[in-house]
Amino acid sequence: MLAIIIASALLYVMWVFVKPQIKYINYFAYVAWGLQTIICFYSLIDEHGWKLNILNAILMASWLSVLVVLLFKINNIWVKFPLVFFVLISLFMIDTAPTHEHHYDHAFSWQLNLHISLSMLAYSVLSVATLYAVSLWVNIKKIKNSDFNSGNGLISLIDEEKKLTKIIVLGWLILSTSLISGVIFIDDFIQQQIGHKVVFSILAWIIFGSLIIGRMNRGWRGEKLITLTIAGMSMLATGYLGSKIVLEWIIN
């Protein structure tokens, strides 16, 4: 397993730092993602069910986020570099000889498995949207701070805003499905210590929904689009990862 982890990490690093003009550069990421898939199955699932601790959650989110980047053909260093940074952290914090921890293992029904999968996918898609929003902010600053005579910079900016909106809409739809599945399949939010996650997820859903409506009806763009994207993702991160850190690393 250690050899697979090292190989995946090296391929991800090459994907980030090798010149993007080189043909077939994304094949590094395809192979690295395939190796990470093996690692995810080894780390996240066993005969007892899901192993849902904070490190495994980061591993799964990074794995899904790379998939989103590849599907949307995002070749932006401001997206790839921080994403691969978190991938490397998640890979090298894996326990290659894990002891069995019943505290984190859960045999869930297919309904809860579906809810968990949708939640993690929504989190990953919107994480990529946030990184892409940061890259958009960088490009806006570059345009503001430089004199240019053509409209190429603005055309590129408009295209990036359109792609960002598509990613946000996809993430919002998946988040909506996740919330609906939670309402249907989860009986007692308070007893299961996920009431705060529901609150923050709903706040994020409202923010991203408002962003989409504002974009469609009022043409919101630029810094407003970026600010709302980051605010919505902050709600999701606080609700899920923040609560995981408190429950697992501070309280326990």
Please give the structure tokens belonging to residue 205: 């859903």
Write out pLDDT tens, residues 210-249. Answer: 999 999 999 888 889 999 999 999 999 887 765 555 544 4
Nearest to 9 by CA among 27, 44, 36, 30: 36
Task: Band the pLDDT of 193: cuts 50, 70, 90.
Answer: low
Write out pLDDT tens, residues 131-181. Answer: 999 999 988 888 777 755 445 566 688 889 999 999 999 999 999 999 998
Task: Band the pLDDT of 57: cuts 50, 70, 90.
Answer: confident
Ranking 60-64, 146-150, 186-190, 239-243 by mean pLDDT, the lowest is 146-150
Q: What are phi and psi of 53, to 5 degrees?
A: -105, 175
Task: Give, to the nearest 10 degrees, the angle between helix 54-71 and helix 77-92.
Answer: 150
Mean pLDDT on 14-31: 83
3-state SS class at 126: helix
What's the pTM value of the predicted model, to 2 decimals? 0.86
b/e map 91-117, b = 16+ CB within 10 Å: beebeeeeeeeeebbeeeeeebbbbbe
pLDDT at 233: 94
